[in-house]
Amino acid sequence: MPMSRSFKDSLFKKLPEIAEHYGTPFHIYDEAGIRETGNRIKEAFAKIPEFREYFAVKALPNPAILTLMKTMGFGFDCSSVAELILSRRAGCSGGDIMFTSNNTSREEFQAAAADGGCILNLDDISLIAKVPRMPELICFRYNPGPLRTGNSIIGNPVEAKYGVSHSQIVDAYRLAKERGAIQFGIHTMLASNELNYTYMVQTARTLLELVEYIQKELGITFRFINIGGGLGIPYQPGVAPLDLEALGREVTDLFSAFNRRNGYTPALYMESGRFMTGPHGVLIVRAINRKDIYRTYIGVDGCMTSLMRPALYGAYHHIEVLGKEGEQPSELVDVVGSLCENNDKFAIQRPLPPIAENDLLIIQDSGAHGHAMGFNYNGRLRPKELLLNVDGSVELIRRAETEEDYFATLQFAPDTLITGE
Ligand SMILES: *Cc1c(COP(=O)(O)O)cnc(C)c1O
């Protein structure tokens, strides 16, 4: 099931009061659930001498969430200057941060090196010459190309824009070494929202084999391998979750075998976003209109600017109506926002119980790539974010955007360039 029993039990009874106090729409995240998943991840890989999760900041870039991740001992995976700043404000630097950029700019290299630095995860062989100062520890993103098929969201690696190709990978490490790097890591991310755990086992195997090949060529050893994010969550009821424990066991076996062959064990890094927070957030909206034309539309007070996955990927997000959780669905409806864009729908032809005006709808699994993907099309504003703490209290962790925020970048004073003839 999309939402855990315990999240439901603690949230649903408080929801009318929370909605009344803060006003809808809002995302609300479950601290207890995030901690539980964090502990499960640590437990699953506990037999590998060094394991660390680097939470993918882009999934839920909120300081309260990053602080929570830090208390669990996690680092952060960043791919923009803003994400670096957020991670550093959460108290991280150096080896706590992976900077996995793509098409990296000079400004990004500067930001990566500033304020205590981070682990640079380079995306291309041409960037070695562009790193202002080669750090002691360097990582490359690997793109296996035709040696591996990607899953549906990531697509075919041959068409994917990230990473160093197979034929360039040894040279990449050789060049980095010549420029002064002395410690090495390797990264790849070949799947997204993948529920089949064997996919990640295969990724770990691919990287460990590659490490053996590179170290033979260059006489170096590897400090870590990073198998990326991409662990899936079941968005639809009845879909089996990813078997994290089996993933942990099989990857641990690969690491033990690697140790027997090579006499050392690199660290294992992972950078999950969705798996860490996805199921532990929901978007709460209120029904404000009902419209019966060729179909029945339930209009709610949030729209796709608060959660664009349904519009972007046709993604399913489970919806429940507060107080009617046990009821049989009575009609097929489209649950829609107010954007002038016909794909502004949270659900299409979904069987739901009868919905009345003012009913609260719980749109589930919004905890990753939810609020974060928000935008302002049509002058729509991003909603607030709340955190349901372990002690039962609720905290506003981001206010809603205002029209003033929306107008903040508009240029009212003239700033004109008269171009020369
Ligand atoms: C997006 C991303 C992640 C997180 O992906 P999830 O599917 O949320 O686990 C991790 N690493 C990199 C490099 C990414 O781009």
Question: Relative to the CA of 59, which ligand 1 atom is closest?
Answer: 8
Identify residue 78 by its one-letter amino acid code: C
Query: Which of 58, 83, 152 gets mutated to test ligand 1 (max ligand atoms within 8 A of its CB)?
Result: 58
Q: What is the DSSP letter of 42?
A: H
294 CA from centroid of ligand 1 (Å): 40
Q: For residue 373, how many other CB atoms are within 10 A of its CB?
A: 18
- Is the predicted pLDDT of residue 81 greater than 60, yes or no? yes
> Mind listing the pLDDT tens digit for each residue in 118-165?
999 999 999 999 998 999 999 999 999 877 655 555 567 777 788 999
Identify residue 14 by its one-letter amino acid code: K
The one catalytic residue in 118, 139, 303, 340 is 340
> Mind listing the pLDDT tens digit for each residue in 178-208?
999 999 999 999 889 999 999 999 999 999 9
Map out the domains of the chain with their CATH numbers: 31-276 (3.20.20.10), 278-400 (2.40.37.10)
Distances (CA, A) of 12 to 2, 150, 321: 15, 39, 10
What tokens does 239 get? Answer: 């879909």
**Any residues with CB less than 8 A from the CB of 103 and at least 6 apart, and which?**
123, 161
118 in catalytic set: no
pTM of the predicted protein model: 0.95
From CA 226, how far away is CA 203, in angstroms rounded? 9
From CA 121, how far away is CA 142, in angstroms rounded? 10
- Model confidence at 101, pLDDT cuts 50, 70, 90, reads confident
From CA 89, how far away is CA 275, in angstroms rounded? 23
Q: Which of 28-37, 240-249, 271-280, 410-419 has the lowest mean pLDDT?
A: 410-419
189 CA from centroid of ligand 1 (Å): 8
pLDDT of residue 158: 77
- Is the predicted pLDDT of residue 324 greater than 90, yes or no? yes
Strand spans (E) along 80-220 = 94-100, 118-122, 137-143, 164-165, 183-187
Question: Relative to the CA of 229, which ligand 1 atom is closest?
Answer: 9
172 CA from centroid of ligand 1 (Å): 23
Ligand 1 pocket residues where CB is under 6 Å: 56, 58-59, 77, 100, 189, 192-193, 228-231, 271-275, 368
277 CA from centroid of ligand 1 (Å): 12
From CA 238, how far away is CA 110, in angstroms rounded? 47
Question: Relative to the CA of 273, which ligand 1 atom is closest?
Answer: 8
Query: Which of 141, 197, 272, 365 gets mutated to test ligand 1 (max ligand atoms within 8 A of its CB)?
Result: 272
163 CA from centroid of ligand 1 (Å): 14
